A = this chain, B = another copy of it.
Amino acid sequence: MKSLQEYAALVEERLPGYILAKCDASSTLARAMLYSLMAGGKRLRPAMLLAAVDMLGGNSGEAMVYACAVEMIHTYSLIHDDLPGMDNDVLRRGIPTNHVKFGEGQAILAGDGLLSLAAELMLEDALTHPGSMDRRVAAAWEIIRGAGAFGMVAGQSLDLACEREHVGGSKELDLIFLGKTCRMFIHPLRAAARLAVAEEWAVDALDRYGLAFGRMFQAADDMLDIEGNASILGKSVGKDEKGGKLTAIGVYGLEGARALVDEEMAKALEALEPFGPEADFFRELVRSMRGRDR
């Protein structure tokens, strides 16, 4: 088992080659895809996929393409999220967002290209490994399903609808957290379980971990946003300043959001119990994430 930083470095090393193998390196499309894909980021989701494969006794080397596909999908979602028609952000990770750098049209296409490439690479991997095609196809299906109209995209759409129509309470917040955040933890972990041919109890435990971790992650993120604003605005509880998004703090207040983080942290750690000390990578992640809002 490696550290988050070690897994992240392995992913980072492999990402550009996948783009350059499919695209003309000098094209605007390749440059726009690489710009956001290689702009830093913790590589949290692909690292979790690789760590889960290792924890379950699989071969994380053969899981690399699935990990990179997850990072491409995460990056595409950030590029599209930042567009003027969505969150209209001009900076991400300290540099201009994709559409500021390449224009809106190219940013839309860079996102489309990354999502397509993620699917293409996973299908290609399955196709070239006939002896283990079934578990590879199962892994690809989990990842695409988690990212798509059943998963992340559904959550983003509901998030946007609630924001624009100024509606929603705890029920909508639960669905938004599940869709836009938890699905892209749950399904890459399920993909890892398929690749490692894990037993059903392990899939169930990872499901519970992914759900709790995602909820904790998103609630802590909401608190960071607000507390970030708070220092500027001189108030400790408030609506998210980005156009009134539905947040854990908006629904539960600051103390309620803090309690939600604690509760989900406990659930995440509990879900890891059956794995014993092999799950220390995932325990450490929970603890480091808990530190984000302190």
Residues of A within 8 A of B (CB): 19, 22-24, 27-30, 32-33, 76, 80, 83-86, 99, 103-117, 119-120, 123-124, 126-127, 130, 133-134, 137-138, 140-141, 144-145, 147-150, 153-154, 156-158, 160-161, 164
The CA of A33 and the CA of B148, in the complex, are separated in Å by 12
Contacts of A141 in B (CB 8 A): 120, 123-124, 127
A104 touches B85 (CB 8 A): yes
Shortest CB distance A24–B (Å) = 8
Asked, given contacts A109-B157, A137-B137, A158-B27, whether A119 binds B144 with beta carbons under 8 Å apart, the answer is yes
B126 touches A137 (CB 8 A): yes
Contacts of A133 in B (CB 8 A): 133-134, 137
A127 touches B137 (CB 8 A): yes
A103 touches B164 (CB 8 A): yes
Given contacts A83-B85, A113-B154, A120-B149, 12 further A-B contacts (CB under 8 A): A28-B157, A28-B160, A80-B108, A83-B108, A105-B164, A106-B160, A110-B157, A113-B153, A116-B148, A120-B144, A123-B137, A127-B137
Shortest CB distance A117–B (Å) = 5
The CA of A160 and the CA of B204, in the complex, are separated in Å by 46
Shortest CB distance A61–B (Å) = 21
Asked, given contacts A23-B150, A120-B144, whether A108 binds B108 with beta carbons under 8 Å apart, the answer is yes
Asked, given contacts A86-B105, A106-B160, A115-B112, whether A33 binds B149 with beta carbons under 8 Å apart, the answer is yes
| Interchain CB contact (< 8 A) of A138 among B105, B117, B127, B160 | B127
B144 touches A116 (CB 8 A): yes
Contacts of A158 in B (CB 8 A): 27-29
Contacts of A112 in B (CB 8 A): 76, 80, 111-112, 115, 148, 153
